[in-house]
Amino acid sequence: MVGHNGLKIRMMLAGSILFGFYAAIAGLVFLAFGTGTTVLLAVALGSLVFVGFQYKFGKWMALRSVGAEDMPEGRGYDQIHRSVEQLSADMDIEKPRLMVAEMGVPNAFAVGRKGAGVVVVSQEITQLLGHDELEGVLAHELAHIKNRDVVMMVIGQSIASLVGIVVQFAYFFTGEQNIATFFIGSILGNVAQMIVTVFVMAISRYREYVADEDAATYTNNPDAMARALEKISAGAQGKEMRGEETVNALCIFGSDDSFFQKILSTHPPTEERISRLRSMSAY
């Protein structure tokens, strides 16, 4: 049994801060439209519907964006199914739905929650990695489902979008309603969304370290996980991933190399992840 107090504390803290952003949204709406019971109920119901829609739509869109299809038991995938069955039993979670897709790069990602999880692997990764390396990747994705951090990411990104939308329209409706006001509101909305996103991405990077550690522990093979990351990183060089904008934050490997990588990247540096896994191998 693997426990991660660090992740639990961070997720509790993240939940509290995200609730704070949510409360700020309600405050802005009240300032703009009043404080009656009808407004309160509208804010609460509207927010729940928005987040619920984002969760369901985000899951559907992630699978659709890469053209994921159910992984058959045959056609060379039997070993993957058996590995996931065993790892799921070891982690005390239900075996998730397995899907396969042609992503253009070797990669994998998980969506959903315990009891309703989906793990997608690319055709490219099944051809690139050895069995022990692929097993490490599968364990990594199952760890995300077990740790419930996929749900936290979806909720966090939904609230970031909600904050941006509310700030934009609150500014517009409380000021002079003209093009200049709308333009300034759009800028303020994007800035507000960026602030929340920076916080969510920090949680995203930490959860990758945790999933790496879980994968190494449950497979008892940190070196295989390190080799998998090396091969995936090399195999992705110079290639464009299908559906990258939609699923990048969910994948085992992120290719973000922009100017703002340190604060907006969904993944920590691959070299650092490999170094940590090598350190586990040493012990």
The pLDDT of residue 253 is above 70: no
The pLDDT of residue 61 is above 90: no
For residue 145, name the pLDDT band (cuts at 50, 70, 90).
very high
Average pLDDT over residues 45-67: 77
pLDDT of residue 175: 65
Q: State the Cα–Cα distance between residues 279 and 154, nearest whole angstrom.
A: 31
For residue 196, name the pLDDT band (cuts at 50, 70, 90).
confident
Most confident stretch, 52-66, 210-224, 234-248? 210-224
Please give the share of the chain, as a percent, with pLDDT higher than 70.
74
| Residue bearing the bigger pLDDT, 44 or 191 | 191
pLDDT in tens, 115-139: 889 999 999 999 999 999 999 999 9
Q: Which of 133, 135, 141, 213 is catalytic?
A: 141
The total number of structural domains in the chain stands at: 1
Q: Which domain holds residue 93?
A: 5-282
- The mean of the pLDDT values for the chain is 80
**141 among known catalytic residues:** yes
- Which of 1-15, 51-65, 148-162 has the weakest average pLDDT? 1-15
| Residue bearing the bigger pLDDT, 283 or 251 | 251
Average pLDDT over residues 204-233: 92
pLDDT of residue 144: 92
- Which of 12-21, 122-131, 204-213 has the weakest average pLDDT? 12-21
pLDDT of residue 1: 45
Most confident stretch, 115-119, 157-161, 190-194? 115-119
